[in-house]
Amino acid sequence: MTEKDKIKRIKIEATSKLNQIMADYFYELDSAAKTDEQKVAWCTSVGPAEILRAMGFLVFFPENHGAMLGASRMATDMLPIADAQGYSPEICSYLRADIGAYLNKTTPLSKSYKGIAGVPKPDVLVFNTNQCRDVQDWFSWYAKKFDVPVIGVHTPRGLGKVTQNHIRSIAKQLEDLINPLEYISGKKFAIDELKQVVALSRECSILWEKVLNTARNVPAPFTFFDGTIHMAPAVVMRGTPRANDYYKLLLEELEERIANNIAAVNDERHRIYWDGMPIWGRLRDHSELFSDLGANVLASTYCNSWIFSAFDPDDPFNSMARAYTELFIVRSDDYKETYIKEMLNSFKVDGIIYHDAKCCPNNSNASYGNAATPGTADRCAQFNH
């Protein structure tokens, strides 16, 4: 095998469909914001998107925009703009890159999608602090800029067992979103519409989990780096048929790879787990670095964050409360340690990489018990994270 063969990566055919549905998604948002024909809600990445869709909002996710700023390597220029406003370089680089881009009136959307000049103006901002408290501050900043309401759910963090009291409290907060959202959308809430969206999100979660689990096969047909790209529909389109149709297509392709013994990394010799955030501006470099060594980084905490096993359309509020609280990022160190051990076993992993990102202690699990590790962690901002 030549050196060139070693780093050869097999293209995932479904990617062209992914590109198309992502373009459709952003153009719809852009058009809605320009024409005012449909209301736009901004939502945190593991926020209550199902309620928003059921109430007729199109949903935009600023964290996805932050990741795009990283992947396009625009973040490096945007971070100092936010820092100059007083944001600490120690905090979330998604937040800082995104706010920097807004102040600089720039967006990677314009580069990828002709005719889109900026992010779609929100009619409301909706957060859940399940992942971190930073999102509340981030969204509150935009609420002032756009002069629109910001509402949200406050989830306790560091949970070992998720109890009925947690679920009751969070489900009640989710229900309390309905009144303001009815007022903003001008649409009456209908429980059957929410049930339908939760059913679609549940199917999306099942399909996405199946996609990720194809990497349990030896050799794995899929990599973590593929996952960071192909997770986009689970993040921004869960609760829509479009996301589910896409994952059926992708799953079929990956199952065909397994049937034909086609590996994502030629000559797979080492199986690696990635914990923490991807380094968006270096995905290709990292993919090639590992595949060149016969190593497949094939499982991660990050991509699994959009598996919401508890969704139940027959009990939408309670099941959403559970699904959005049982997530890895919300849990205690003990829970996380057990979770990672189970992942290492089930994916037959040889080693683990901890990306200890200074700007996100919530997604850095190498320093158990420490809230943050300033000064010792790497500077993910330098990598456009």
- Residue environment code for 294-330, b if the CB has 16+ CB neighbours within 10 A, otherwise e: ebbbbbbbbbbbbbbebbbbeebbbbbbbbbbbbbbb
* Widest CA span in the chain: 64
Write out the H or E segment, with its range, that includes residue 40. Answer: strand 40-43
Amino acid of residue 323: A
What residues numbered 260-279 form the site for ligand SF4, per CB under 6 A? none
The answer to whether the beta carbons of residues 140 and 44 sit under 8 Å apart is no
- Cβ at position 134, least distance to ligand SF4 in Å: 4
- According to the binding rule CB under 6 A, does residue 132 interact with ligand SF4? yes
Relative orientation angle of helices 62-71 and 93-103, to the nearest 10 degrees? 90
Strand partners, 40: 58
- Cβ at position 363, least distance to ligand SF4 in Å: 5
> Which one of 19-27, 127-135, 147-155, 291-299 is the stretch in contact with ligand SF4 (CB under 6 A)?
127-135
CA-to-CA separations, 373 to 76, 356, 367, in angstroms, rounded: 21, 8, 7
What residues numbered 54-83 form the site for ligand SF4, per CB under 6 A? 63
What residues numbered 92-111 form the site for ligand SF4, per CB under 6 A? 92, 94-95
- Cβ at position 46, least distance to ligand SF4 in Å: 9
Three-state secondary structure call for residue 222: coil
The answer to whether the beta carbons of residues 383 and 281 sit under 8 Å apart is yes
Residue with Cβ nearer ligand SF4 (300 or 363): 363
Residue with Cβ nearer ligand SF4 (266 or 364): 364
Q: How many chain residues bind ligand SF4 (CB under 6 A)?
A: 11
- Cβ at position 357, least distance to ligand SF4 in Å: 8
Residue with Cβ nearer ligand SF4 (82 or 135): 135
Residues that bind ligand SF4 (CB under 6 A): 63, 92, 94-95, 131-132, 134-135, 360, 362-363
